[in-house]
Chains A and B, each alone.
Chain A
């Protein structure tokens, strides 16, 4: 409650500061006859920022440090006997006191000393909050007064406000980057722990994948084999099948949409195709497992092929359908972006429409189309749900699309599903696989974006 009140008060002070700053700037300008360096509102923002930012920073810092400070004071007030408890027991007792203070635990059952400690805790907290309120508001007022006094017509208020805005934007983007960096580091650290147990060479070049290990003494299980080659091969096989479906279908439908289709037809077809990207992958998954896989197997039987009910082919086909929009939408955009002058130049030489498309439009749009392919590929490699349901879990080292295979993502999912020890080789293997996957898709995305960018520079 106190904290919210303080925050509101600071914001109100900032609003007041805005008005004061603006008025003072106008008054100073008319008194001295000097023109203002910036627009009056910038002086207002200048004062408001000086009022709010330091105070808000103080509140944040206070709230971060407060629990430790209060805890330290509380421990100090406890009896010597209690202080000599082991850290774990002390922690338990402190959390009891906190619960008691909050009223979460019925106070009848607690002993008087605990009640006393809880009362002391409440008291400390109250003091802390009051101090926070007083200091925060005081700092806000001090900032306001100081900034207001600094206002003279020559003050470069606009530049300073812009600098603050820039700093704010930088902080926002840094946050996103830091999150990514954090994820990478957690992947790297866990993967390193994994590689301390299993050598990277065995992992990257081993051909047997069998991660079942004994979780407790006496359990009968394998010792775990972590050769990831079957997973890589399975991933590549399914992605390859998917791209074999998506690249021709996507590109040809993009050519139809951008070159042949009437505007009204295009307005209908394009969103319809893009719906494919909006279908949840789990739906694709059971479509693959329950519709496509049996169909594939029955078709195989009719021509005398033995196809397992979970096959790379079924998963790859459905995944191919899923990534069609990635190819078609991007290709359509880049083909449409090829300047009209280019087409007219070709028509003007007596080329037919198909000659123009094949020899001028597609080559001109090629970098963008390739970029689309690569993005689709990285999507296919990272896809999990369809493969879990349709391709199976058996880590067969095979390039035969009629057999069951498994992929990196599927194994990550199965390694972490259910109750697991989080420091066994089995769960740590998931991080190692994740790291490999991350680098592959990152590389693909970087290459794709580079190519698309190179293409853009050509026409702008």
Chain B
């Protein structure tokens, strides 16, 4: 395991060979970042029902990419393709090209365990394990054999809690169950848990939809801080949230990626009529 992990860390330093010249639709962003994910013509089927139709989207390093759109538009499905969480659904079938640093995610030789260690995930509803706060965060490092001794493990756990902005609130009760925390704290614990595996990308599936406005503001602040070290993809129903936290936004509608561009452009000057209708609240 630890050998695999070192390989993962190395791939952080050595970016993939594929460098796409900016967004397919919009003009180049300045300065030009290189994409972490390049996905082309992604189709997803649940049994015979097609959930995504020809989605082509690039996700850039150290940016927050927001995926917006009405319920059932396929944005969560797309997100779950990026770490192959769709594999857990028997009837799900994915076609098209999905590259992470130039490596095909759905290639036979891609190890799902390895992939998910590089691409962490935070879910809609906080889902801490029924373990202590410490053990929740230590779970990932333990299964991947990241820490050789207790002291190093402590460092990872404390560091992750610190980065998730939770350390000061929980440092006196690390042995209490994760479920004893408030909803917002639980979600930050889940973020700390994801960070502890030292991923490159964090996927967030509506991370604030179960939280109150204050906890939401706290998470949004955290997302902005995390951007310096991680690439973040966030699915959200709140257009205000997308506008606040993201640099780039993709608008999905009925399984199609309608438009993707700088967040500012999407919200001030969308090119597609459907995007405009959605962000002005005419449907959705």
Which residues of A does B touch, CB under 8 Å? 339, 341-352, 355, 359-360, 363-364, 458
Contacts and interface: CB of A to CB of B under 8 A. Distances in A.
Given A344-B88, A359-B139, A359-B143, A352 B129 contact: no
A347 B116 contact: yes
Interface residues of chain A: helix, strand, loop or mixed (majority): helix
Contacts of B47: none
B103 to A, nearest CB: 16
A352 B143 CA distance: 9
A350 B139 contact: no
B127 A344 contact: yes
Given A341-B123, A344-B123, A351 B85 contact: no
Interface footprint category on B: 20 to 34
A349 B129 CA distance: 12
Interface in B110-126: 112-117, 120-121, 123, 125
A262 to B, nearest CB: 8
A358 to B, nearest CB: 10
> Which are the 4 A-B pairs with shortest beta-carbon distances?
A348-B121, A350-B117, A350-B116, A341-B127
Interface in B129-172: 129-131, 139-140, 143-144
Contacts of B190: 345
20 contacts: A341-B125, A342-B129, A344-B88, A345-B190, A345-B193, A346-B129, A346-B139, A347-B116, A348-B116, A348-B120, A349-B121, A349-B197, A350-B140, A350-B144, A352-B143, A359-B143, A360-B129, A364-B129, A364-B130, A458-B130
B275 interface: no
Contact of B88 (A347, A352, A364, A458): A347
Interface centre among A342, A348, A351 (most CB of B within 10 A): A348
A351 B129 contact: no
Contacts of A364: 129-130
B190 to A, nearest CB: 7
B83 interface: yes
B121 A351 contact: no
B194 interface: yes
Interface residues of chain B: helix, strand, loop or mixed (majority): helix
A447 to B, nearest CB: 20
Given A350-B115, A364-B130, 18 more contacts: A341-B125, A344-B121, A344-B127, A345-B123, A345-B127, A345-B128, A345-B129, A347-B116, A348-B85, A348-B116, A349-B116, A350-B114, A350-B116, A350-B144, A351-B140, A352-B143, A359-B143, A360-B129
B113 A363 contact: no
Given A341-B127, A359-B143, A347 B85 contact: yes
Contacts of A343: 88
Interface of B: 83, 85, 88, 112-117, 120-121, 123, 125, 127-131, 139-140, 143-144, 179, 190, 193-194, 197
Nearest to B8: A350
A458 B180 CA distance: 11
Contacts of B130: 342, 363-364, 458
A347 B80 CA distance: 12
Contacts of B143: 349-352, 355, 359
A237 B155 CA distance: 49
A291 B243 CA distance: 75
Given A345-B190, A360-B129, A350 B123 contact: no
A349 B117 contact: yes
B139 A342 contact: no
Contacts of B193: 345, 349
A349 B140 contact: yes
A355 B140 CA distance: 11
Contacts of A349: 116-117, 120-121, 139-140, 143, 193-194, 197
A147 to B, nearest CB: 54
Contacts of B121: 344, 348-349
A344 B85 contact: yes
B185 to A, nearest CB: 16
Given A363-B130, A363-B131, A364-B130, A348 B139 contact: no
A364 B127 CA distance: 12
Contacts of B179: 458
A346 B140 CA distance: 8
Nearest to A351: B143
B157 to A, nearest CB: 14
